[in-house]
Amino acid sequence: MRDVKFLKATSIGEAITFLDEYRGQAQLIAGGTDVLVQLREEEKTISSPLCLVDVFDIMDMRAIQEEGDLIRIGSMVTHTEIAESAFLNQAVPFLSLACSQVGGPQIRNRGTVGGNIVNASPAADSVPVLIALDAMVHLRSNKGKREVPLSAFFVGPYKTSIDEGELLTEITFKRLPEGSKTNFVKVGRRRALSISRMNLAVSMHCDAQGHVDDMRFAAGSVMPRPRRIKEIESLFLGKTATPELLQKAKEEIGEVMVRESGIRKSTIYKKPVIGDITYSAIESLK
C-alpha cells in the first residue's frame, strides 16, 4: 500500500511552504472528487510516498467578490456555492447554470471550481463558461505571483501549464455588458451524475436595433483545447440572429470540430449534435 502523509494548510503561505518542503511528492487536494479517484488508479502502479496537502478550508480562497466590473472567485469555492450565489446568478447566470449541472449534490458540495480547472478534463462544465468570460487564473508560489489567461492555461487534455509548487488561488473576469443573455447546454449519457459528452456556453448582447454587438461562444469535449470559437462569434457580430444565420452556425461548428479534432468514431454522432445544440442555444437568446 502506498505511504501517504496528510497535511492541512490553513493559509496560502502555509500551502506553498508544504509544496516546497515536499517537492516531488506533494499533491494538492481540495474536494477530492477527482484526486481520490486518480490516486486509487495510481496505487496499482506507483508505490512511492505521497504527501496530500489539503487546501479546501483556506478562507482567502473561498470568497466571491465584486470589485467594480471585476468579479473574483476563490479557487476553493464549490460548485454548489456558485450555483446558489444570488450575485453570480444575476451577473453571470450561465456560470451558475453550468455548476448546477456538475455531477450530483455530493460532488457539487465538495468539488471546487479550482479543482475543475486544474484537473483539465475536456468535459469540465465550468470551463467553457469561464473561457467565454475571458477568465484569468491567478497562481502563487515561492517565486511570487503570476496571472495566466485561462485559454492559455490548458496545454492539452488533462494537462495545464501550472508549475510544480504553484497554487491556483483565484479566478477573475469582467462583468458581461448590461443586458447580456446567456445559456449553457450539456449533453450526457444520462440526466443525473453525467460526464459531459459535449457542452457549450454562449453569451450575446444586442444593441437597440437588435444587432449583435457582443458575442462569446465556447464549447467543451469537442476540441483538444478549450477556446472561444471566433468562427461562430464572427458570424453574428453586427447582424441580427436570423434563422439563416443560426443554420450557418450549426454547420460551421461541426466543421470547426472536425478541423481541430479530426475524424473519430464519435464524429458521426457529435457533429450533428453539436450543430443542433449550437442552433438551439443561440436561438434561446433572441
| Every domain of the chain and the residues it spans | 4-54, 61-174, 182-283
pLDDT of residue 4: 86
What whole-number distance in Å separates Cα of residue 7 and Cα of residue 18? Answer: 8
Bridge partners, 7 (sequence order): 53
Predicted confidence at residue 48, as pLDDT, reads 63
- Report the 3 state secondary structure along 209-265: CCCEEEEEEEEECCCCCCCECHHHHHHHECCCCCHHHHHHHHHHHHHHHHHHHCCCC
User: What per-residue confidence (pLDDT) applies to 266?
Assistant: 84
Smallest Cα–Cα separation from 169: which of 22, 21, 28? 28
Q: Mind listing the pLDDT tens digit for each residue in 60-94? A: 999 999 999 999 999 999 999 999 999 999 999 99
* 4-54 CATH: 3.30.43.10
**What is the distance between the alpha carbons of residues 97 and 132, in angstroms, rounded to a whole number?**
14
pLDDT in the model for residue 89: 98
Amino acid letter for position 274 = I
Predicted confidence (pLDDT) per residue in 239-264, tens digit: 999 999 999 999 999 999 999 888 88
- Grid coordinates representing 97 are 447554470
Cell numbers describing residue 244: 439563416
Is 208 in contact with 202 (CB distance < 8 Å)?
Answer: no
**Range 61-174 classified under CATH 3.20.20.70:** no
Low-confidence ranges of the chain (pLDDT < 70): 1, 43-49, 189-196
The crossing angle, in degrees rounded to 10, of helices 267-283 and 243-261 is: 140
Give the CATH class of 182-283.
alpha beta
Q: How, if at all, do strands 136-141 and 70-74 pair?
A: unpaired
